[in-house]
Amino acid sequence: MGQITGKVDIRFDGKKIPTENQAKLNVGGNKRNGEMHGDDNYFTKESQIPMLEFTVLETKDFDAIELSDIEGITVFFEADTGQKYMMRKSYTVEPVEFTGNGKAPMKMSGQRPEKV
């Protein structure tokens, strides 16, 4: 029986961040938009930036300002099935909200992730 991903860890410059077990990594690249012309199918390309989405746990060390101001760090995405990706020159895409419910959504981008 094979294992599927059930847990992902996020690290900032090697330091594990307290997050929910789930995260979403869009590695970026080309989005292809299909078009029909007569009986033929064509496509155009549109570049998309990498995007990492996850939820930070609002522990006693949680700092929404510090997380919102992140620029230029290396982020690691590590799945419990062994896949590891590294995204250099990462930054927070939009301000992080202190929700008061223990969970703060966060979005980051950076250079195209590398498999490590």
Token pair recorded at residue 86 = 């590294």
Each residue's pLDDT tens digit, 2-44: 899 999 999 999 999 999 999 999 999 999 999 999 999 999 9
Q: Which residue, chain included where needed, has tokens 């900032």? A: 12
Each residue's pLDDT tens digit, 34-75: 999 999 999 999 999 999 999 999 999 999 999 999 999 999
**d(C-alpha 1, C-alpha 47), whole Å:** 38
Using alpha carbons only, how large is the chain's radius of gyration in Å? Answer: 17
Judged on CB neighbours under 10 Å (0-12, 13-18, 19+), 79 is: middle
CA distances, 46 to each of 5, 16, 20, 25 (Å): 29, 34, 31, 18
Domains of the chain: 8-115 (2.40.30.200)
**d(C-alpha 90, C-alpha 113), whole Å:** 10
pTM, two decimals, is 0.88
